Structure 1
Amino acid sequence: MPDLKQERAVQTRRRLLVAAAELFDQFGYEGTNVADIVKRAGLTLGALYFHYGNKQGVAEAVMNSQPQVIEPLLESEGLQHVVDITLVWAHRLQVDPLLRAGVRLAVEQRGHGMSDATSFNDWAAIMTEHLQIARDNGALRSGVDPEVVARFLVGACTGVQLYSQLVSDRADLMDRTCEMWQVLLPGIVSEEARADIVIDPARRGGE
């Protein structure tokens, strides 16, 4: 029954990932140990070592799972898809420990001896792809480089959420994300496409 065995492996990895994320979210990397992760997951140390190698391995998996948390919730494309990524992200950061832990680990990782830019690069690649669609559809201003905008957005969103976390425990993150787009859009979107781009907290579900 190879399919059943594979499904069990997927479920085991998921249980370990979620348990680790809940602990990393609450206690940080240094305050979490593998014994607590497997206890919360209801699994064994052997399972964690087999699937993730060690605590750093599971931390990197949590950190790099961010796009998989957000992308399945989105149905839009082009520039609207990029806007929706940030709106859904702003909302899910307040309710989803897997995403919160991923962001926390990504930002704090240098302090724990890690240096993995995968999550940032993955977001930039996803945004670049949809900004290229927007450019091909005439939604971007002439001369706007999708890769440059994508890199800027990844950095901007990182900074916005850190600022929001500091001043309001992210309670105002959605408002700050919308403000970011209100400032940014006039510089990158064509006049013809401007009216079609929706910046609305109601799109936090990605519809």
Structure 2
Amino acid sequence: MAMQDRAIRTRQAILSAAAKVFEERGYQAATITEILAVAGVTKGALYFHFQSKEDLAEGVLSEQDQQLSVPERACKVQEFVDSVLLHAHRLRTDPMVRAGVRLTLDQRAEGLDRSGPFLRWGDIGRHLLQRAQAQGELLPHVTPSETADVVVGSFAGIQSMSQALSDYQDLMERTSSLLRHLLPSVVQSSVLTSVDLSESRGAKVLDEILELRRQAVAVQEPAGVGVS
């Protein structure tokens, strides 16, 4: 178990170092040597976990999605909004997510398949909007897959603009504004009046997820743990 824990920590240290280098330098300019220096691990340790720079980049791209599912909501439009605002908040606060987004949008990253995050986010949005449609929350003309793609593409542009203009400091404001502009053409007005689109919503959702995790861990701990 100790060896397994050490391997997990080493892998995470390598991914964190790769994320830092990819975010700062982009995919093409980043080197394995620089990632090794930042991670403070041997070349053998890195190649045990990742076979190439492309493999490292794929690891960072998938890591940004790490199991932070929004709790289920009765209103599926709110659940959809929460997913967007949570991602925006993590983009502002989590270097791994920032690196993943930079890689996703890096048009000079030759040989790297950047389609994964776009497809995953499109699938998440489509699934939630289909459920919203089934509950009568959407306007009659809406096609969930089309709307999901519009939101994913629009958010990609909004976050890129925010990064250039304010280093993501205004991202929550811009994302909230994007949703306020798009959703009236998609969602029944009677539903939209009760949906929280506020700039602080992403942080609240993350706090809720982390609290649910803490509660789950506390329930799983056997009686007497921590008692001397």
Fold-level match, TM-score > 0.5? Answer: yes
Listed as ranges, the matches of 1:1-207 within 5 Å are 6-68=4-66, 72=68, 74-77=70-73, 78-205=76-203, 206=205, 207=208
Work out the CA distance in 2 between the residues paired with 1:171 and 1:118. Answer: 26
RMSD of equivalent CA atoms: 2.0
**Distance apart, 1:124 and its partner CA:** 0.8
Work out the CA distance in 2 between the residues paired with 1:124 and 1:14. Answer: 27
**Distance apart, 1:7 and its partner CA:** 4.2
Q: Deviations over 1:137-171 (max 9, x none)?
A: 21111131111111111101001111222222222
- C-alpha distance 72-139 of structure 1, shift in aligned 2 (>3 A): same
**Distance apart, 1:115 and its partner CA:** 3.3
**Distance apart, 1:11 and its partner CA:** 2.9
TM (norm. structure 2) is: 0.80
Q: Is the 8 Å Cα contact of residues 48 and 54 (structure 1) preserved in structure 2?
A: no
Mark the runs of 5 or more structure 1 residues left unpaired by the alignment: none
- SS of the equivalent of 1:201 reads coil
Work out the CA distance in 2 between the residues paired with 1:58 and 1:19. Answer: 10
Work out the CA distance in 2 between the residues paired with 1:120 and 1:5. Answer: 35
Q: How many residue pairs get matched?
A: 203
Counterpart of 2:103 in structure 1: which amino acid? L
**Distance apart, 1:4 and its partner CA:** 5.3
Q: Is the 8 Å Cα contact of residues 28 and 109 (structure 2) preserved in structure 1?
A: no
**Distance apart, 1:57 and its partner CA:** 0.8
- SS of the equivalent of 2:65 reads helix
Mark the runs of 5 or more structure 2 residues left unpaired by the alignment: 209-228
**Distance apart, 1:76 and its partner CA:** 4.3
TM (norm. structure 1) is: 0.87
Counterpart of 2:23 in structure 1: which amino acid? D
Relative contact order (C-alpha < 8 Å, sep 6+): which is higher?
Answer: 1
Counterpart of 2:70 in structure 1: which amino acid? L
Work out the CA distance in 1 between the residues paired with 2:4 and 2:152. Answer: 34
Which moves more between the two structures, 183-192 or 73-82? 73-82
Work out the CA distance in 2 between the residues paired with 1:185 and 1:36. Answer: 44
Work out the CA distance in 2 between the residues paired with 1:137 and 1:4. Answer: 48
Work out the CA distance in 1 between the residues paired with 2:13 and 2:89. Answer: 23
Q: Is the 8 Å Cα contact of residues 105 and 114 (structure 2) preserved in structure 1?
A: no
- SS of the equivalent of 1:67 reads coil
**Distance apart, 1:202 and its partner CA:** 1.6
